[in-house]
Amino acid sequence: NAGVTQTPKFQVLKTGQSMTLQCAQDMNHNSMYWYRQDPGMGLRLIYYSASEGTTDKGEVPNGYNVSRLNKREFSLRLESAAPSQTSVYFCASSARRQGRGGGYTFGSGTRLTVV
Amino acid sequence: GESVGLHLPTLSVQEGDNSIINCAYSNSASDYFIWYKQESGKGPQFIIDIRSNMDKRQGQRVTVLLNKTVKHLSLQIAATQPGDSAVYFCAESYTGRRALTFGSGTRLQVQP
């Protein structure tokens, strides 16, 4: 099915461990985004990539790094996980910047717990 | 600072009734708005969008109203069904902004 694929769906990490969240889209979208979602809060932007070859910080980038590997793939890396990074992570993509003209297409999320 | 917020965290309606979910925004430069639906364990799904040059836009069973004077956005769902039970988010952006900003969400519960 066309859309945004995120892996893994669930992950438990110990404090200090590292991991990479993978995201791939097959809609030929230019822009890709990583958001985190915490209980009772809206989605907060971690990093985004307006187009292949560019990445920029969002609202809450500390503790994360990203790589726009090619037009399809946009990965999020936690170098040294902390309990404050326990959250649900969503990757999204859009044909146009800011999702204009149809919004974002979201993946199904990665539920990350850091103990 | 700018913000996108919602008036009610939880809305409970009877099946068949109309639902209205509200959203306030603070940035007068915001010119693009979207409503998303998020079911449990899933990613948000696009419902409908509206640009600031419009006051109203209709989709299938949904209508979005935009009042720029008071910076208010609403989503109306006609004949609410059990499948409409979800969390609904508004999101906004303006030209030059890096990405969408999301509100904290309203949970819609449809009672049979």
Q: Do B44 and A56 touch (CB under 8 A)?
A: no
pLDDT at A7: 97
Q: Which residues of B touch A108 (CB under 8 A)?
A: 41-43
Residue in the block written with tokens 């859009």: A94
pLDDT band with cut points at 50, 70 and 90 for residue A1: low
From A109, A106, A100, A111, select the one nearest A3 (Cα to Cα): A106
- Smallest Cα distance from B103 to chain A, Å: 5
Q: Which residue of B has its CA nearest to A37?
A: B104
Q: How far is B93 from chain A (nearest CA, A)?
A: 7
Residue B88 has pLDDT above 70, yes or no: yes
Q: Which residue has the tokens 């952006």?
A: B93
pLDDT of residue B103: 87
* pLDDT at res. B2: 38
| Nearest-angstrom CA–CA distance, B34 and A48 | 18
| Measured distance CA(B11)–CA(A70) in Å, rounded | 42
Q: What's the mean per-residue pLDDT of chain A? A: 93
Res. A61: pLDDT tops 50: yes
Residues of A in contact with B4 (CB under 8 A): 42
Q: Are B104 and A42 a contacting pair at CB < 8 A?
A: yes
Query: What is the per-residue pLDDT across A42-60, written as a single tens digit (0 to 9) for each?
Result: 899 999 999 998 999 999 9
Nearest residue of chain A to residue B34 (CA atoms): A103
